């Protein structure tokens, strides 16, 4: 361990200890501890669960593009209006708008200590732009985490998904069943299997994912991409990712 990495590790532990006592975002007090995580993984790999875990574990916000779009639209910003009108016409929101939203979002104070992006970059062009943005802001290179799960395992998991139509909570008959069969734990509503959790639809989504994500991971390069076996139980996946992050910080 170098003096530099020791100092970083000390700051990280202080950060967590103080934060646990005061429940305040202290990221700005230790600006040298900046953790930028990019989380890639196929649909159904438990990426959302891991994003929440990583956000809590490393005290950074987990930012998904879907939430970013909704927030911009609700706030009625210029970007939000442009995105809404494109989507209303059935078009795809271009890289320029997505990149601008990310740039705006990561400039917010809660991102001072770092952040996790889930669902971005979605194209090689976005990855290039994002890299330029980080450089321009003097931020470190992102840590790229790839949750690797065989397609057949994902199909088995996804066809076992059920959703609450009221609160939108997702269950899985294999890994996260409701307490009472067929009923939402929170509001008792009858759970449903969504149209897009049918096998043919899932296979199509997986093909699209591989076509989209393969080139991005290639662009970052094998030495920058940390593949984690996403087929393990969620707590083991979480531990494996935490080890990758901690190793990278040293
Ligand atoms: Zn519910």
CA–centroid distance, 119 to ligand 1, in Å, is: 25
- The rounded distance, in Å, linking the Cα atoms of 51 and 116 is 7
List 6, 194, 207, 250, catalytic entry: 194
Q: Measured in angstroms, how far is the CA atom of residue 182 from the centroid of ligand 1?
A: 11
Are 69 and 90 in contact by the 8 Å Cβ rule? The answer is no
Instruction: Say what the pLDDT of residue 43 is.
Output: 86
Which stretches of 137-230 are DSSP H helices? 151-158, 199-220
Q: In this predicted structure, what is the pLDDT of residue 101?
A: 93
- Rounded average pLDDT per 10-residue block, the chain, 250 residues: 50 42 41 85 90 95 90 88 86 88 93 95 95 95 96 92 94 93 96 90 94 96 93 93 89
Whole-number Å distance, alpha carbon 180 to ligand 1 midpoint, is 12
**Structure-token pair, residue 40:** 């890639």
The DSSP output letter for 140 is: P
205 counts as catalytic: yes
> Is 194 marked active-site?
yes
Residue 192 CB partners (closer than 8 Å, separation 6+): 162, 163, 165
- Distance from the alpha carbon of residue 179 to the mean position of ligand 1, in angstroms: 12
User: Which one of the listed residues 29, 57, 73, 122 is annotated catalytic?
Assistant: 122
pTM of structure = 0.74
The yes-or-no answer on residue 12 being catalytic is: no
Catalytic residue among 12, 47, 105, 157: 47
Residue pair 120/65 in contact by the 8 Å Cβ criterion = yes
Q: What is the pLDDT of residue 84?
A: 86
Phi, psi of 164 (to 5 degrees): -85, 120
The pLDDT score that the predictor gives to residue 250 is: 77
Dist. CA 161 → ligand 1 center (Å) = 14
Cα(178) to ligand 1 centroid in Å equals 10
For the beta carbon of residue 23, count every other beta carbon within 10 angstroms: 8
């Amino acid at each position: 361990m170098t003096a530099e990495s020791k100092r970083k590790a000390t700051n990280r532990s202080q950060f967590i200890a103080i934060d646990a006592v005061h429940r305040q975002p202290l990221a700005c007090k230790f600006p040298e501890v900046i953790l930028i995580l990019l989380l890639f993984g196929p649909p159904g790999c438990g990426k959302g669960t891991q994003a929440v875990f990583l956000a809590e574990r490393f005290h950074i916000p987990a930012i998904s593009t879907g939430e970013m779009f909704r927030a911009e639209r609700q706030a009625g910003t210029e970007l939000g209006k442009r995105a809404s009108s494109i989507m209303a016409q059935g078009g795809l929101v271009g890289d320029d708008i997505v990149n601008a939203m990310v740039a705006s979002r990561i400039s917010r104070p809660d991102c001072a200590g770092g952040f996790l992006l889930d669902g971005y970059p979605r194209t090689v062009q976005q990855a290039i732009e994002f890299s330029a943005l980080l450089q321009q802001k003097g931020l470190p290179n992102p840590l790229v985490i790839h949750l690797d799960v065989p397609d057949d395992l994902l199909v088995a998991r996804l066809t076992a998904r059920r959703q609450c139509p009221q609160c939108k909570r997702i269950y899985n008959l294999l890994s996260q069943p409701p307490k009472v069969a067929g009923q939402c734990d929170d509001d008792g509503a009858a759970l449903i299997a969504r149209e897009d959790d049918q096998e043919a639809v899932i296979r199509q989504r997986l093909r699209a994912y591989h076509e989209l994500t393969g080139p991005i991971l290639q662009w970052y390069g094998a030495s920058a991409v940390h593949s984690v076996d996403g087929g393990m139980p969620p707590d083991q996946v979480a531990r494996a990712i935490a080890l990758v992050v901690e190793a990278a910080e040293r």
